[in-house]
Structure 1
Amino acid sequence: MRRDLPEAGWQKSSYSPDNGGQCVERQTTSEGLVAAGDSKNRSLGAHAFTAEIWQEFITAVAKGTL
């Protein structure tokens, strides 16, 4: 299902460098899902995850297991 996400709602990761918008951004949808998208090409849309799955992903990245 495609969702229109507000342009002003995106949050850049604190780990993303300020290099001209080449980073992953996220925002919470009205359904409570976490949407993640490519800041340099938002027309590609976003992938949406439950908060629990998103946290598992973030934890795995931080641990280096992903």
Structure 2
Amino acid sequence: MSESMPVAWHIGTRSPDNGGNCVEAGPILDGSGRVAVRDSKDRAAATLVYPAAGWSAFVSGIKHGEFG
């Protein structure tokens, strides 16, 4: 992902408040619907980018307990 591409980052709601194992995700603000995901402890590391449909399926799976 290009460093110049703006992302509206949000820390995961299940991440601890003490800065522990946190994941940040947010929409890429280019109108594509893609979502970027990164480790909040190492923001300079690789950022994963998911297409809108893939991210939606992942979130739906989490909500329905498919990964538990």
Same fold (TM over 0.5): yes
With structure 2 as the length reference, what TM-score do the two structures score?
A: 0.73
Normalised by the length of structure 1, the TM-score is 0.75
Question: How far is 1:21 from its partner?
Answer: 5.1
CA RMSD of aligned residues (A): 2.0
Give the structure with the higher percent helix. 1
How many pairs does the alignment contain? 64
Alignment-derived partner of residue 23 in structure 1? 22
| Higher RCO (CA-CA < 8 Å; seq separation 6+) | 2
Map Cα deviations across residues 12-53 of structure 1 (whole Å, 9 max, x no partner): 122222121531111222243100111011111211011111
Q: Which segments of 5 or more consecutive residues in structure 2 lack a partner in the other structure?
A: none
